[in-house]
A and B are shown apart, each in its own frame.
Chain A
Amino acid sequence: MNDLLRLRQQRRADFWSRILPYTQYVIQSGLAVVTLFLLIAFAAWYTTFLQKLPPGLPVYWIMLILLTPLTVYGTVRTYMRPADVVFMLPMETRMREYFAPGWRGAVIGKYIWLLLITLIAWPFYIRAAADPKPLLLTLALLLLLKIVSNYGSWQELRINGDALRVIYRLLRYVAVIALLAAYLWLPLWTGTIVLLIGAAVYYGLLRMPGKAQVPWERLIAAEKNHATAVMRMLGWFVDVPTGERKINRRRWLSFVGNRVPWKQERAFRFLVSKTLVRSELLPTLIRFVLFGMLLVLLTRESWFGVAVYLLFILLAGMQMTTLRKQHTDTLWLSIYPLPPTSQRLETVGLITQVQLLIAILLWIPLATAGDPVRIVWTLAAGLVMVWLYRSSLNRKWLRDLAAEDEL
C-alpha cells in the first residue's frame, strides 16, 4: 500500500475512533427505541397504505421527491487538515491516489441508501404507476446518475471562480432532477435515451471551465464542515466537542437579537440569538419542523399523530441544546462582567421561546381536522412538554455546574 493511501486510512481510523465511543451513549439516549418504534409504525402504515392505495396519487412526483435528495447529494470525505496545504502540496500531482477511496466510498455509501429507498418504494410504484419501468434498469440508471452527480460535485470544488461554482451547482441540481423526471415520465426507451444523452451533455459541460488541480482550501473547508456536521448530530444526544462551525450571514435575519433589552444581564441573549440564526442549527431546525409538520399532517386523525407531535417537540428541544455547547469554551465569557447565571438563563430562555414557536407550528396541521377537544388538548400537552423540557434543561445544567465545581 502506498504512503498516501496509508495516510488516508490512518486519518479515517482516527476520525472514527473519536466518534465510535459516543455511539453507545446515542443508543442509550433512546434513539434506538424511537427508531424501532418509528420503523414498526411505518411498516404497519405502509402495509395498510399499499393494500388500499388512494386513487389519483401523484406517483411520479412522489418517486421524484424520494429519489432526488440522495442522487443529488454528493460529498466526498477527504479527512484533509489545514496543515496539508503546506505539507502535502509537493505531492499535488499524486493526490488522485489519496482521493480515490473517498470517491468510491461516497458513491457506494449513498447508492446503498438510494437502493434501499427504491426497493421500499417499489411496491408502491408498480401498483400506482400506469406504466412502471423495469427495476433492474432503474437501479442501473440510478447508479449512473449517482456517479455523474458525485463527479459533478467534485468538479465543482475544482472550478475557479465563486460565481461559476454556484452556476455549476445549480446546473447539477437541475440536470439530476430533469433527467430523473424524464426517465419517470417519458416512455421507457425515450426516457432512458434522454437520461443517457443528458448525462453525457452534463459531463461535457463539466469539462469546460478552468479548474485547480487540487482545490486545497475548499477541500479543507468542506472536510471541516463534514466533521462538524457529524459532531453536531452526535451533540443532540451526548456532550461532544462541537469543533468548527459553519456560519452563514443570513442578512434577512440580522434583526434577530437586536431588540433584546439593553441590560447587562440580558447581553448573553444578544449573542446566543445571533448564534441561533447564523449557525447550521437554524436550517436544520427548519427542515426538521417541515418534516414534522408533514408527518403530523399524514397522521393527524389518529392518536399516533399526537405521539408524533409530542416527539417532534422533544426532539426539536434536544437539537437546540447545541446552543448550550457553542460558548462553553469562549474566553470572553470568563472575562466579561456578565452575571454568573445569565448564560444559563438566557440560553434556556431562547430555547423555550423557539420550542414554543415550534409547538405551535407543528400543531397547525393537527388543527385542520379531527375532534376539536382532542385538538385543544394536544396543544395543551405540547405546551406542557415545552415546560417540562425547560425544567429538565435547567436541572441538568445546574447539576453539571455542581459537578464541575466539585472537580
Chain B
Amino acid sequence: MEQVSVLNVNRLTGGYSHGKPVLHDISFEVGRGEMIGLIGLNGAGKSTTMKHILGLMTPQGGEVRIQGSTLSADTQQYRASLAFVPESPQLYEEMTVREHLEFTARAYNVSPEDYEQRSRRLIQLFNMGDKEDSLSMHLSKGMKQKVMIMCAFVAAPPLYIIDEPFLGLDPLGIRSLLDFMVETKQNGSSILLSSHILSTIENYCDRFIVLHKGRVIVQGTLEQIREQTGQQGVPLEQIFYDLVQDSKWTVSDE
C-alpha cells in the first residue's frame, strides 16, 4: 500500500519579496510517523521554509500540502493538522501555564477529558508542576520554551513543526523532549525538526534535509547521506561541515 505523506513540499520557491526568493525549488516529504531533521547554517532558509509550511508566507512558486490539502483549499483543516514550536517562545503574558494549555486544547477542539489527561502528563514530564499557575511573564526563558512545547503536544495533531526546540532547555528538559518526540512519532505523528545540535538529533531523526542558501543540497537517511557524500562512518556534524564548505555541493547565489 502506498504511504500518503503527511507533509509534501513540492518545488517551493518563496521569500520576503518577489524577484528575490530565499527558497529555490525546494521539495521534500514527511511521512507518517517520521521525524525529519531540517539542518542548515544561519540564513540557510530553515525558518522561511517553516513559515511557508505554517501558511505565514505565500509561496512564489510550488505548493505545500498537509495530508493532501493546501491551506487555501481548507484553511481550518490545514491548521488543525499541525502544531508549531517557535525558536523564541511567544506566550500570552496574561495567561498562566495551565491556561495556555487550556486555550490551545480549546482551539484544537481537544476534548476536556483528553486535555486533562495530556496536560497532567506533560506538566509532570517537563517538571512544571510548581509553575502551572504562574503567569507566563514570570517564567524563565527555558520554562517558556517548555510551555511552547507542551502547548504543541497537548494539541496532538498529525504534524509538528519544531524550530530549534533545545534553546534554553536544561539537560533534563532536552531529554524529556527527545523521549516524548520518540513516543509521539511511534504513535503515528510526524515531526519536522530544525536544530543546530547535530550530535543530538543524529540519533533521533529518521531522515535529514540539508538546506544551504535556500536550496536542498542533500537529503535522506544518515546512511544515504554518507553514501552520497562518500563519507562512510563519519558523524553528521562532520558531514554537514564538509558539505557547506565544499563548493561541489553549494550553489552560488548568481
Q: A residues engaging B (CB < 8 A)? A: 245, 247, 249, 254, 262-264, 266-267, 270-271, 274-275, 278-279, 330-332, 334-340
| Distance in angstroms between the alpha carbons of A271 and B151 in the assembled complex | 14
Are A262 and B54 in touch, CB under 8 angstroms? Answer: no
Are B76 and A278 in touch, CB under 8 angstroms? Answer: no
| Distance in angstroms between the alpha carbons of A138 and B84 in the assembled complex | 63
Which residues from chain A contact B79 at a C-beta distance below 8 Å?
335-337
Are B94 and A337 in touch, CB under 8 angstroms? Answer: no
Given A274-B95, A278-B94, A337 contacting B108 (CB threshold 8 A):
yes
Are B137 and A247 in touch, CB under 8 angstroms? Answer: yes
* Binary interface encoding of chain B residues 64-95 relative to chain A, with 1 for a CB under 8 A from any of its CBs, else 0: 00000000000111011010101000101111
A132 nearest CB across to chain B (Å): 49
| Distance in angstroms between the alpha carbons of A339 and B108 in the assembled complex | 11
Having A247-B137, A264-B108, A331-B86, one finds 18 other A-B pairs with CB under 8 Å, namely: A262-B111, A262-B112, A263-B109, A264-B107, A264-B109, A266-B106, A270-B106, A271-B92, A271-B103, A274-B99, A331-B56, A331-B90, A332-B107, A335-B56, A336-B108, A337-B79, A337-B109, A339-B76
* Chain B interface bracket (under 10, 10 to 19, 20 to 34, 35 or more): 20 to 34
The answer, yes or no, to whether B63 is at the interface (CB within 8 Å) is no
| Distance in angstroms between the alpha carbons of A254 and B108 in the assembled complex | 22
Are B54 and A335 in touch, CB under 8 angstroms? Answer: yes
| Distance in angstroms between the alpha carbons of A264 and B112 in the assembled complex | 12
Are B94 and A274 in touch, CB under 8 angstroms? Answer: yes
| Distance in angstroms between the alpha carbons of A275 and B103 in the assembled complex | 12
* Binary interface encoding of chain B residues 129-165 relative to chain A, with 1 for a CB under 8 A from any of its CBs, else 0: 0000001010000000000000000000000000000
B70 nearest CB across to chain A (Å): 15
Write the chain B residue with the least CB distance to A327: B92
Which residues from chain B contact A335 at a C-beta distance below 8 Å?
54-56, 79, 82, 84
| Distance in angstroms between the alpha carbons of A66 and B120 in the assembled complex | 53
* 8 tightest Cβ-Cβ pairs between the two chains A and B: A267-B106, A337-B80, A337-B79, A278-B94, A336-B107, A264-B109, A267-B107, A247-B93
The answer, yes or no, to whether B102 is at the interface (CB within 8 Å) is yes
Are A247 and B135 in touch, CB under 8 angstroms? Answer: yes
B138 nearest CB across to chain A (Å): 9
A403 nearest CB across to chain B (Å): 19
Are A337 and B93 in touch, CB under 8 angstroms? Answer: no
A114 nearest CB across to chain B (Å): 34
Q: B residues engaging A (CB < 8 A)? A: 54-56, 75-77, 79-80, 82, 84, 86, 90, 92-96, 99, 102-104, 106-109, 111-112, 135, 137
Which residues from chain A contact B93 at a C-beta distance below 8 Å?
245, 247
Write the chain A residue with the least CB distance to B86: A331
Are B84 and A337 in touch, CB under 8 angstroms? Answer: no
A248 nearest CB across to chain B (Å): 9
| Distance in angstroms between the alpha carbons of A208 and B30 in the assembled complex | 66
Are B103 and A267 in touch, CB under 8 angstroms? Answer: yes
Are B94 and A270 in touch, CB under 8 angstroms? Answer: no
| Distance in angstroms between the alpha carbons of A331 and B111 in the assembled complex | 24
| Distance in angstroms between the alpha carbons of A145 and B75 in the assembled complex | 62
Given A262-B106, A264-B106, A274 contacting B92 (CB threshold 8 A):
yes
Which residues from chain B contact A337 at a C-beta distance below 8 Å?
76-77, 79-80, 107-109
Can you offer 15 A-B residue contacts whose CB atoms are under 8 A? A247-B137, A254-B96, A262-B106, A262-B112, A264-B107, A270-B103, A274-B99, A331-B86, A334-B54, A334-B56, A335-B54, A335-B82, A336-B79, A336-B108, A337-B76
A171 nearest CB across to chain B (Å): 27
Which residues from chain A contact B95 at a C-beta distance below 8 Å?
271, 274
Which residues from chain A contact B99 at a C-beta distance below 8 Å?
270, 274
Which residues from chain B contact A331 at a C-beta distance below 8 Å?
56, 86, 90
Are A247 and B106 in touch, CB under 8 angstroms? Answer: no
Which residues from chain B contact A278 at a C-beta distance below 8 Å?
94, 135
Which residues from chain B contact A262 at a C-beta distance below 8 Å?
106, 111-112
Which residues from chain B contact A338 at a C-beta distance below 8 Å?
107
Are A270 and B109 in touch, CB under 8 angstroms? Answer: no
Which residues from chain A contact B77 at a C-beta distance below 8 Å?
337
| Distance in angstroms between the alpha carbons of A330 and B100 in the assembled complex | 14
Are A340 and B75 in touch, CB under 8 angstroms? Answer: yes
Are A279 and B94 in touch, CB under 8 angstroms? Answer: yes
Which residues from chain A contact B108 at a C-beta distance below 8 Å?
264, 336-337
Which residues from chain B contact A254 at a C-beta distance below 8 Å?
96
Write the chain A residue with the least CB distance to B151: A332
Which residues from chain A contact B104 at a C-beta distance below 8 Å?
336
Which residues from chain B contact A336 at a C-beta distance below 8 Å?
79, 104, 107-108
Which residues from chain A contact B54 at a C-beta distance below 8 Å?
334-335
| Distance in angstroms between the alpha carbons of A339 and B55 in the assembled complex | 15
| Distance in angstroms between the alpha carbons of A332 and B92 in the assembled complex | 10
Which of B54, B80, B92 counts the most chain A CB atoms within 10 A? B92
A280 nearest CB across to chain B (Å): 11
A327 nearest CB across to chain B (Å): 8
Which residues from chain B contact A266 at a C-beta distance below 8 Å?
106
Which residues from chain A contact B90 at a C-beta distance below 8 Å?
330-332
Which residues from chain B contact A274 at a C-beta distance below 8 Å?
92, 94-95, 99
